Amino acid sequence: MKEKTIVSTVTLLTSLLAYWYSKEAEKDSVPYVMMGGFLGSIIGESIAEKTVKSKP
């Protein structure tokens, strides 16, 4: 899997989870989705870096 694909996928998933949480908690979704996307990009970069380093 390409590094860009990993980061994009994890960012999308965490953003959707943050959106779902904000709607369930009946809160404004914008800050939650922004933070979810930010954290997702950091997590995705970390996963992609470990994946690239583990390849021979």
Amino acid at residue number 8 = S
Q: In three state form, how does the secondary structure of 1-34 look? A: CCHHHHHHHHHHHHHHHHHHHHHHCCCCHHHHHH
Instruction: Give pLDDT tens digits for 12-45.
Output: 999 999 999 999 999 999 999 999 999 999 999 9
Whole-prediction pTM: 0.86
Q: How confident is the model at residue 54, as a pLDDT?
A: 82
Answer whether 43's CB lies under 8 Å from 32's CB. no
Provide the strand spans (E) within the chain. Answer: none
Answer whether 36's CB lies under 8 Å from 19's CB. yes
